[in-house]
Amino acid sequence: MIMSGYLQFQRTGHKEVDEILDAIENAGDGFHHTSQWDDVLNDGKSYSDLIDEKIEAAKIALKDK
């Protein structure tokens, strides 16, 4: 995934963790203020929702490791 120009986090090499970082970078590109990350986007979800989905997926995937 393309890294944000606004936020750029170091990648870990762990797919699930890096996907969380990607989601946070995308939220930072969409809205510079975290207070807006709960605003609903065109798909009916917010950036906060998308970040939470990645966190939940990581919890499931990493639990088995």
Per-residue pLDDT tens for 27-43? 998 898 899 999 999 89
Q: Report the distance separating Cα 9 and Cα 31, nearest Å.
A: 17
Tell me the whole-structure pTM to 2 decimals. Answer: 0.84
pLDDT classification of 63: cutoffs 50, 70, 90: confident
Q: Report the distance separating Cα 59 and Cα 46, nearest Å.
A: 20
3-state helix, strand, coil in the chain (%, to 5): 55, 5, 40
Token code pair at residue 13: 């090499």
pLDDT value of residue 3? 46
